[in-house]
Amino acid sequence: MRPDDIVRLHSLGAPSLSPDGRTAVVALTRPDLGTDDYRGALWSVPADGSADPARLTNGPLDSAPVFSPDGRRLAFLRGGPGPAQLYVMGTGGGEPWQVTDHPLGVGEPRWSPDSRRIAYSARVPEEGRYAGDPGKEPPRRITGLRYRYDGVGFTNDRRFHVFVADADRARDEGPGTPVRVTHGDGDHRSVSWSPDGTLLAFEAALHEGRDRDHTSDVWVCAPDGSGLRRLTGTGHMVESVRFAPDGRTVCFTGVDISENSAWHVARQLSLWSVPVDGSAPPLRLLAEEDHHIAPGGIPVPADDGVLVPVERRGSVELVSVPYGGGEPATLVSGPRQVQAAAYAAGTAVVTVADGASSGELVRIDGGERALTGFAGDGSPRPLEEITTTAPDGHPVHGWLVRPEGPGPHPVLLMIHGGPFRMYGWQLFDEAQVYAGAGYAVVMGNPRGSSGYGQAHGKAVVGDVGRVSAADLLALLDAALAGGGLDASRAGVLGGSHGGFMTTWLAAHHGDRFKAAISERAVNAIDSFHGTSDEGWAFAFDLYGADPAGWREQSPLTHADKIGIPMLIIHAEQDWRCPLEQAQRLFVALRLRGVETEMLLFPGEGHEMSRSGLPSHRVARFEAILDWWSRHL
């Protein structure tokens, strides 16, 4: 794979199934270097596999399809140019019509049971903001810690609120006539209809002190906003909310943070239920230590349980969790990753990625049937599984992506971010590009990673660099021992927490590497604590409650030990690991005469390598390959 081959990579959104279970609709998105943007369209896929997928829309960027309960209509989001707005089209054909016209776009739609109304969330800007020259807006008065977010910008002056739109009225009168359901200074998201259409459930943080913690609640109200009441006890970090089929229970994904409302690092995301009448507290449906719902995993209520994707040693399995709790049933397992699911009429359709594809639709109905082949006939380099142990006996798990030919190949140790994230059984463009250029790529899940239990994730708290380094070097040694790799030509690279560890390894184990690439990294915990959108809590959670210990854990403190060449990559609008983190390391190394370069990407945030402008993603790959060609 070459850098510009990213145009061949696709991503699939969450599928939607028609009420009779016969047809799935899914959004397929690809980078487009011609327009330097992303193109997305909706595709119709027969759930029995009887015909090839058929394209339904022409974009330019369509996503989030949802069938109406009567099966006659499809709601979806259409963006580009401009923010995404809600559209509706008939499933029998015809042109879609626009339902909303919000200045900052809308969130994913949810149909009412009568197939007439659509609930969604949208950011509501303060008067005089986000409509003209941002440099001429009035000053912002900041009174809480949670006032901005990477990839979004300031959030305290454009809160999410719930709306309900009438699809027929929008068709006849045009967009712009929805009913606003929620009000106040708080975000309201992840809306769900009750089966009888009398209630809306959603997640919101409306408690005192909400700008100083990560706590939110499940709320319900009537579709006109009346009767607002809270179902949970302000002890959870709530993410996704869905009504159960019986209408008496609301299921949600969340983390119990009742003991420390700011702590959310290395906490397993679980599944919960709570009665709509408020008669009992939330019930945990998954064991905390054993099950971690994959980031972004949406609960899908089915007849016998809730479908959720859970991480498991680099895989993401689909499990069905009984509504009363208990051991979940595994529906999809093996060396692959479930990304999303839909359910109707006894049939489940899931998006599944593996080492050969970034995502395909598969039907689950007592067996499995592949429904799409969007990846085409490419031949990515395979993932070779590695298992080993650290010096203290702790097991370490990872993979090697080996280039063509007998070698010996130069080798790259690549480190993921988080740290409570994981590499796994999925086509990864970075590993494929580097292997395509002749480099063997070692990547794995040291302590601190998710997918191996909560204790594994928490093992690095307060001693991140030293503990993670032991596992990473053990993984590198195991890969080298397999043969075909050149230990004298090894490089290390990573982004975010992976950048933190890259700088740490360059300082403490620089003799193992010829060069390094640190990207969007945390380098100085003290300034990260005050400048990052999440640093005010994250720094205490991960690096320890006593700031006196942060200096020793900061890679910047040990920059005087770095002697190998280092490329520093950063995005100018990164608010997760702000630009000053890169600048401080760059200055420290340049003043000491270390060969150091800094590559900055304008207009991009922390997610640039995954969702930035296609031209920037290609330029980043080319710069990385150029650096390795010069030093390895």
Query: Which residue type, as a one-letter code, is found at position 59?
Result: G
Q: What is the number of other CB atoms lying within 10 angstroms of the CB of residue 557?
A: 17
Residue 514 has pLDDT above 90, yes or no: yes
Q: Report yes or no: 86 and 118 within 8 Å, Cβ to Cβ.
A: yes
Give residue 260's pLDDT band: very low, low, confident or very high (50, 70, 90).
Answer: confident
Give residue 622's pLDDT band: very low, low, confident or very high (50, 70, 90).
Answer: very high
What integer best gives the mean pLDDT of the chain? Answer: 95
Angle, nearest 10°, between helix axes 429-436 and 614-631? 40
Residue 615 has pLDDT above 90, yes or no: yes
Q: Per DSSP, what are the bridge partners of residue 272?
A: 252, 284
Instruction: Quote the CA–CA distance of 45 and 371 in Å, as a whole number.
Output: 7
Query: What are the tens digits of pLDDT across the range 182-226?
Result: 999 999 999 999 999 999 999 999 999 898 899 999 999 999 999
Instruction: Quote the CA–CA distance of 44 and 62 in Å, as a whole number.
Output: 13
The pairs formed by 9-13 with CB atoms below 8 angstroms and a separation of 24 or more are 9/358, 9/427, 9/429, 10/358, 10/359, 10/374, 10/375, 11/358, 11/359, 12/339, 12/340, 12/351, 12/358, 12/359, 12/360, 12/361, 12/374, 13/63, 13/64, 13/65, 13/340, 13/351
| Average pLDDT of the residues in 163-179 | 94
Residue 262 has pLDDT above 80, yes or no: no
Burial zone of 153 (CB within 10 Å; 0-12 exposed, 13-18 middle, 19+ buried): middle
The helix/strand/coil state of 186 is coil
pTM listed for this prediction: 0.95
Q: Whose structure tokens read 């369509």?
A: 62
Q: What percent of the chain has pLDDT over 70?
A: 100
Q: Report yes or no: 60 and 66 within 8 Å, Cβ to Cβ.
A: no
Instruction: Quote the CA–CA distance of 320 and 328 in Å, as a whole number.
Output: 5
Q: 138 vs 157, 323, 382, CA distance in Å?
A: 11, 50, 54
Q: 55 vs 58, 206, 533, 549, CA distance in Å?
A: 8, 42, 39, 56
| Average pLDDT of the residues in 508-536 | 97
Q: What is the number of other CB atoms lying within 10 angstroms of the CB of residue 346?
A: 11
The angle at the Cα of 95, spanning 94 to 101, to the nearest 5 degrees, equals: 145
Q: Whose structure tokens read 């943070």?
A: 257
Sign of torsion over alpha carbons 40, 46, 49, 51: negative
Residue 175 has pLDDT above 90, yes or no: yes
Query: What are the tens digits of pLDDT across the range 124-150?
Result: 999 999 998 999 999 999 999 999 999
Instruction: Quote the CA–CA distance of 624 and 604 in Å, as a whole number.
Output: 17
Closest CA to 85 of 188, 175, 189: 175
Instruction: Quote the CA–CA distance of 43 and 594 in Å, as a whole number.
Output: 52
| Average pLDDT of the residues in 403-420 | 96
The CATH superfamily holding the domain 383-631 is: Alpha/Beta hydrolase fold, catalytic domain (3.40.50.1820)
Residue 106: DSSP 8-state: B
Angle, nearest 10°, between helix axes 497-508 and 464-481? 80
Give residue 177's pLDDT band: very low, low, confident or very high (50, 70, 90).
Answer: confident
pLDDT score recorded for residue 288: 87
Query: What are the tens digits of pLDDT across the range 36-83?
Result: 999 999 999 999 999 999 999 998 999 999 999 999 999 999 998 899
Token pair, residue 430, equals 């970075």
Q: Which of 86-100, 369-383, 411-425, 449-463 has the weakest average pLDDT?
A: 369-383
* Neighbouring C-alpha atoms within 13 Å toward the C-beta of 457: 27
Residue 391 has pLDDT above 90, yes or no: yes
Q: Report yes or no: 612 and 582 within 8 Å, Cβ to Cβ.
A: no
Residue 263 has pLDDT above 80, yes or no: no
Closest CA to 391 of 466, 490, 462, 458: 466
Q: Which residue has the higher pLDDT, 258 or 632?
A: 632
Instruction: Quote the CA–CA distance of 610 and 343 in Å, as a whole number.
Output: 29
Give residue 151's pLDDT band: very low, low, confident or very high (50, 70, 90).
Answer: very high
Token pair, residue 592, equals 């000491």
pLDDT score recorded for residue 261: 64
Give residue 386's pLDDT band: very low, low, confident or very high (50, 70, 90).
Answer: very high
Instruction: Quote the CA–CA distance of 328 and 284 in Å, as a whole number.
Output: 12
| Average pLDDT of the residues in 236-253 | 96
The helix/strand/coil state of 550 is helix
Sign of torsion over alpha carbons 27, 31, 33, 37: positive
Query: What are the tens digits of pLDDT across the range 334-385?
Result: 999 999 999 999 999 999 999 999 999 999 988 899 999 998 777 899 999 9
Give residue 432's pLDDT band: very low, low, confident or very high (50, 70, 90).
Answer: very high
Token pair, residue 70, equals 């009567």
Q: Report yes or no: 465 and 508 within 8 Å, Cβ to Cβ.
A: yes
The angle at the Cα of 168, spanning 164 to 171, to the nearest 5 degrees, equals: 105
Token pair, residue 228, equals 């607002």
